[in-house]
Structure 1
């Protein structure tokens, strides 16, 4: 299986790009100073809330968006 490193040889791009766009914002239907529109996220993504169960499969092209109790993004990663 070939090595896939996000931002180098995957189609999704660099994590830091998404950190800059999403950190501290809430995911919603529209974009503004405090929110980011769902429609502008990559096709392969999931929003992970505190206590959510998630599959343990690794998809190097999937953007994982971790939100806190208030719904604000506090971390993003690929996998």
Structure 2
């Protein structure tokens, strides 16, 4: 069985991390529409989770799941897959 390293040796249709970084960094996740300071939840991939500081999270690895890490001010600080 070959070694599979998510994001390096896999090529899925989820999109590139840098695309999501460019779209989300510094913005707030909103239930309504997207604009200069917010991004609509409805425009995120189906497999995603928004993580606030101190949130509990599962440790299962899902290479297609977009993880959106918020800061204390609820703006996006980091984006990862897993």
* TM-score normalised per structure 2: 0.88
TM superposition shift of 1:69? 1.2
Q: Does 1:38 align with 2:41?
A: yes
Q: Which entry has the higher C-alpha Rg, 1 or 2? A: 2
Structure 1 residue runs of 5 or longer lacking an equivalent are none
Structure 2 residue runs of 5 or longer lacking an equivalent are none
Rounded to whole Å, the distance in 2 between the matches of 1:4 and 1:36 is 29
8 Å contact 1:4–1:10 — kept in the other structure? no
8 Å contact 1:49–1:71 — kept in the other structure? yes
Question: Alignment partner for residue 64 of structure 2, among 48, 58, 61?
Answer: 61
Rounded to whole Å, the distance in 1 between the matches of 2:59 and 2:71 is 20
Rounded to whole Å, the distance in 2 between the matches of 1:27 and 1:42 is 13
Q: How many residues align?
A: 79
| Aligned alpha-carbon RMSD (Å) | 1.6
Rounded to whole Å, the distance in 1 between the matches of 2:57 and 2:44 is 19
* TM-score normalised per structure 1: 0.91
The match for 2:6 is 5
